[in-house]
């Protein structure tokens, strides 16, 4: 079956991205350019441009991971206001689609992934597409990548219960961190700005996206 992936990309941008107030032409251009179908399992290629999260891993092999739905992804990226000179930390890059898009917007992307197989796929796919300004680092997502810090922008590719201090510590002065806090319909996209030693945040929009592993809040003892 021959699928017109280029046509599907155009429809994705026109019907899923532009219609949700994403107006940044650089983001739109990047999402038209990056072949989303290359970052999903072979059995899911025909579904690469549907308006839903796409499973990247199977049940039973650790926390299930997903490629984020295009609309909330684009809105989070637009919220970060990435500049061509920015260095970006992409937390939870999975197979690398998000990092490929971010590579078109910034000077350098450090892509952190905790799943070794996903990190391997991301490294291969990004190399195939010539995303030479992306480095994939395998490690715990909640720890970020302190060795390459500080960053102008940090973006988390899934929802979390709370952002750990370790990630805020990796922001540059005037650096931005964008994230969805909370799960399901309770998810809220927020942007944090670092000024001096102080980090302030504000609500941006509602977003229901799949969670990232490793950011769960440990429960204390209850009597």
**Which residues are annotated as catalytic?**
70
Structure tokens at 93: 């890059």
**Tokens at residue 13, please?**
């941008």
Question: Which residues, at least 6 apart from 110, have a Cβ–Cβ distance to it below 8 Å?
Answer: 87, 88, 89, 90, 134, 135, 137, 145, 148, 151
Whole-angstrom distance, CA of residue 175 vs CA of residue 111: 17
Distance (Å, whole) CA 109 – CA 84: 11
Whether residue 152 contacts residue 83, with contact meaning beta carbons closer than 8 Å, is answered with yes
Closest Cα partner for 88 from 133, 24, 21?
Answer: 133
Place of tokens 């005037």: 174
């Amino acid at each position: 079956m021959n699928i017109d992936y280029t046509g599907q990309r155009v429809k994705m941008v026109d019907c899923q991205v532009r219609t949700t107030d994403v107006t940044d032409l650089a983001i739109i251009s990047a999402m038209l350019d990056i072949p989303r179908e290359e970052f999903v399992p072979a059995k899911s290629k025909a579904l690469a441009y549907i308006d839903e999260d796409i499973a990247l891993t199977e049940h039973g092999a650790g926390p299930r991971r997903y490629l984020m739905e295009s609309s909330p992804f684009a809105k989070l990226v637009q919220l970060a206001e990435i500049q061509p000179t920015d260095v970006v930390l992409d937390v939870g890059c999975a197979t690398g689609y998000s990092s490929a898009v971010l590579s078109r917007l910034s000077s350098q992307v450090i892509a952190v992934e905790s799943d070794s197989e996903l990190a391997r796929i991301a490294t291969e796919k990004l190399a195939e597409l010539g995303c030479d300004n992306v480095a994939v680092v395998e490690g715990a997502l909640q720890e970020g990548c302190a060795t390459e810090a500080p960053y102008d922008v940090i973006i988390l590719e899934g929802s979390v219960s709370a952002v750990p201090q370790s990630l805020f510590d990796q922001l540059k002065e005037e650096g931005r961190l964008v994230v969805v806090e909370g799960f399901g319909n309770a998810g809220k996209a927020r942007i944090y700005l670092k000024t001096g030693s102080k980090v302030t945040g504000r609500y941006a929009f509602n977003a229901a996206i799949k969670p990232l592993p490793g950011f769960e809040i440990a429960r204390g003892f209850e009597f």
